[in-house]
Amino acid sequence: MMKLRNFFVFTLWAFIAMSCSAQSKMEHDQTNHNKNNMAMTNKKTQNFEIQKTDAEWKKELTESEYRILREKGTEMPYVNKYYKVDKEGVYVCAACGHKLFSSDTKYHSGSGWPSFYAPIDSNAIITRPDNSMFMHRTEVVCAKCGSHLGHVFEDGPEPTGLRYCINSVALDLKPEEN
Ligand code: FE
What are 139-157's pLDDT values in tens digits?
999 999 999 999 999 999 9
Give residue 66 CA to ligand 1 midpoint distance, Å: 12
Instruction: Give the separation between CA 178 and CA 175, rounded to whole angstroms.
Output: 9
Element (H, E) at 178: none
Closest CA to 101 of 119, 122, 117: 119
CA of 93 to the centre of ligand 1 (A): 5
pLDDT band with cut points at 50, 70 and 90 for residue 178: low
As a residue count, the chain comes to: 178
Q: Using one digit for the tens of pLDDT, what is the confidence trace for 43-80?
A: 444 689 999 999 999 999 999 999 999 999 999 999 99
Are the C-beta atoms of residues 150 and 170 closer than 8 Å to each other?
yes
How far is ligand 1, taken at its centre, from the CA of residue 95, in Å?
A: 5
Residue 35 scores a pLDDT above 70: no
Per-residue pLDDT at 176? 77
Residue 171 pairs with which residues in a beta bridge? 93
Per-residue pLDDT band for 174 (boundaries 50, 70, 90) equals very high
The number of CA neighbours under 13 Å toward the Cβ of 41 is 12
4 Cα–ligand 1 center, Å = 35
Residues carrying an active site annotation: 165
Could you say which architecture CATH assigns to the domain 2-174?
Beta Complex (2.170)
Ligand 1 centre to CA of 24 (Å) is 26
Query: How many Å lie between the centroid of ligand 1 and the Cα of residue 129?
Result: 19
Per-residue pLDDT of 82-109, as tens digits, reads 999 999 999 999 999 999 999 999 999 9
- Distance between the two ends of the chain, CA-based, in angstroms? 46
Please give the share of the chain, as a percent, with pLDDT higher than 70.
73
| Sign of the alpha-carbon torsion through 91, 70, 128, 15 | negative
Residue ranges covered by each domain of the chain: 2-174
H helix runs in the chain, sequence order: 2-30, 54-60, 63-65
* Beta carbons within 8 Å of 49's beta carbon, 6+ residues apart: 144, 145
Give burial (CB, 10 Å; 0-12/13-18/19+) of 147: buried
Strand intervals (E) in 104-159: 106-107, 115-116, 125-130, 137-142, 148-153
Number of H helices, E strands in the chain: 3, 9
